[in-house]
Structure 1
């Protein structure tokens, strides 16, 4: 039996003019822009970082040095995984704008530490520290945006916040990557620091105050982790989405070593991925509002085919760019669907649910980067991470199908039934019936 839909009990936001709402959403997206830049700029600068921080390893083997420098990406992802649930659960009751300002200021400090780290080991620690507010920022910003957007547009509100991250991959990451190639990777991270400083000011001035959930406690927020469907959603995000990061982490050597393109082409490839992510993000937001699990089930098979196409045609520049666009678009379209699904099944633990998505995706980030490094270190070449991505995405699809099967059994009152709180029960009923129609028996 389904429980009724539950919303956050925070104080309603006064009605805002359309202009005021748009500027508030843009301020939230600017924070996401900075996060996208700090998370993804390393992807195109791994060779420069490896040469600077691992000179002895580089002299012996550039492949080994690049693979080892992927640890920086895994460290950032691990910071998100640790920070998202712990920070989000602890601060759910506090005013949201104040929290967002604190988070953007923390990003500013953490990125400066990354830029000035004198050794590889300290750079790894700095990336971990810089990542701690990542999930909590996106989680709370998603709740603010959903309230600003109004009923029935939660997925689109999530997508608007994530749009800063995707636009960063169109504009910020390629430009900062080019800057890093010309002036050094440290200068690139200083540029990201400036973006976070601007975001701190924008959030403080433009985002209206929203009260947190006065009844929230750490225990209540963490109670979401007792729900089986929450774990299914986390598994779909962490394992299935890991395929994207297996590809994206090593995009620079894929272009230069496999396709034989010049290093100067790498920023253009990042633009291609970023445009795909931006398009996919907004499409995914609309699809999520029509049924989050249905969106996941429909997009994963195409995502798998896109990564397989990339692996098979990576040596041809035209098809390489085409499949990079498709991989970026499909991965980004899946993200708001997974976040909306988590919010659907988490009951009253909405702050934690909104943040847990980013823990899941960054487990995927860490897993994809690490498995990609493993196959490269094993001598399988720079195409091998794409095949790792295919395998991870297949596993994510299987988890989504398992989630649907369990939910169907729950709706029928089976022994594993558990309450599922969703935004639109009719939508989720339609998902189940579409995938597993009830047989009609002749009398």
Structure 2
């Protein structure tokens, strides 16, 4: 894999830390800004909503810009939002910074996804995606738990400052690692924006996006409220939240890595086997969450399964959108974040009626719907043909 791909993953690490860190900070943010835990949890949905809107808009706006300029511009805006978030005493301002930061993140990820798939052979999209998303999974292994510990020691605002500082080496890496010319495309003119948008009518692309959104929605529904499950249901001390985040992140890294090796050549087997096991895992979490050891083991396993299935489905989005070379990355980003917005919002709505385990049952329900929808569409979604 080319060095530029790993430099993009470094920036994704910084952004992934920000996206996932709220799982360990929601109770502290709620107390610090005098809002409910459910309201604070909506910050995750705000971030995902910003990415849903930002990915196609930013990709369309900057589709003819050089990749390096687009990536650096998005990263600088992202860092600035975290500086504002670190100093504001008002929840609505914090909410707004999450939306704007998400738009910047979406623009970055949409360009990075498209760039990453052009840096490798046409039949290696899954592996390229695995390298890029390893930045996110490593964020859950190291960045998010470190943020939770930093928040516990110095307050949640310190974590936002830390993310802003993480953007500095990421920006330097991109400035030196991504060549300043045009995007990695051939000399032939690419398809028009209208042609790329028309790809959204393809049943194969719509099916892959829908399945990815459902699975990711379940993942984020449970993950966003993991801190409350660890401390409220299992009755563990707050320090165990960081361990749970490390376990989930380690599992997600394993899942993405293994799926990256398998999903290009055996997508039907990878998705078809892992998805029902993922469903059983969410049900097991809901039933065993009051027992510390089984809960922590399941957190690791669910991280692996959720990211193996999710990354495989997003790879299928990129295969299906190969006729949209500049917008395909935004379609994958939208699919990821429709789920990331809806999952926590639905999960928050269940807290009052089903307690801290409500979001886990939401995860099981969304995964179950994906499994049912997958039965008639798996063959179409996992077609191995690659458009030119």
* TM-score, normalized by the shorter chain, greater than 0.5: yes
TM-score by length of 2: 0.93
Partner-residue secondary structure (3-state), 1:290:
coil
**CA 165–127 in structure 1, closer or farther in 2 if over 3 Å, else same:** same
Aligned ranges for residues 50-65 of structure 1 at < 5 Å? 50-54=30-34, 57=35, 65=36
**CA 227–187 in structure 1, closer or farther in 2 if over 3 Å, else same:** same
Structure 1 residue 393 corresponds to structure 2 residue 373: no
Partner-residue secondary structure (3-state), 2:360:
helix
1:110 to 43, 62, 81: 81
- Alignment partners' CA distance in 1, 2:31 and 2:256: 34
User: Per-residue deviation at 1:190?
Assistant: 0.6
Q: Which moved more, 1:226-235 or 1:286-295?
A: 286-295
Q: What residue in structure 2 maps to residue 349 of structure 1?
A: 324
User: Per-residue deviation at 1:137?
Assistant: 2.0
Structure 1: any 5+ residue segments left out of the alignment?
1-17, 58-64, 409-419, 426-443
Partner-residue secondary structure (3-state), 1:383:
helix
Deviations 1:248-286 (A, max 9, x none): 011001011111100111111100000001111111111
Q: What residue in structure 2 maps to residue 206 of structure 1?
A: 177
Structure 1 residue 306 corresponds to structure 2 residue 281: yes
Aligned ranges for residues 191-230 of structure 1 at < 5 Å? 191-209=162-180, 211-212=182-183, 214-230=189-205
Deviations 1:218-251 (A, max 9, x none): 3122111121222211111112221111110110
Partner-residue secondary structure (3-state), 1:373:
helix
- Alignment partners' CA distance in 1, 2:220 and 2:66: 34
Q: What residue in structure 1 maps to residue 13 of structure 2?
A: 33
Q: What residue in structure 2 maps to residue 162 of structure 1?
A: 133
Aligned residues of 2:252 and 2:303 also touching (Cα < 8 A): yes
Q: What residue in structure 1 maps to residue 378 of structure 2?
A: 404
**CA 274–347 in structure 1, closer or farther in 2 if over 3 Å, else same:** closer
Q: Which moved more, 1:288-297 or 1:301-310?
A: 288-297
Partner-residue secondary structure (3-state), 1:70:
helix
Aligned residues of 1:343 and 1:353 also touching (Cα < 8 A): yes
Q: What residue in structure 2 maps to residue 430 of structure 1?
A: none
Structure 2: any 5+ residue segments left out of the alignment?
none
Larger radius of gyration: 1
Q: What residue in structure 1 maps to residue 157 of structure 2?
A: 186
**CA 100–407 in structure 1, closer or farther in 2 if over 3 Å, else same:** closer
Q: What residue in structure 2 maps to residue 42 of structure 1?
A: 22
Q: CA RMSD in A?
A: 2.1
Deviations 1:372-423 (A, max 9, x none): 1111022x11112111111100111222223236679xxxxxxxxxxx8932
Q: Which moved more, 1:285-294 or 1:189-198?
A: 285-294
- Alignment partners' CA distance in 2, 1:294 and 1:423: 19
TM-score by length of 1: 0.82
- Alignment partners' CA distance in 2, 1:364 and 1:422: 27
Number of matched pairs: 384
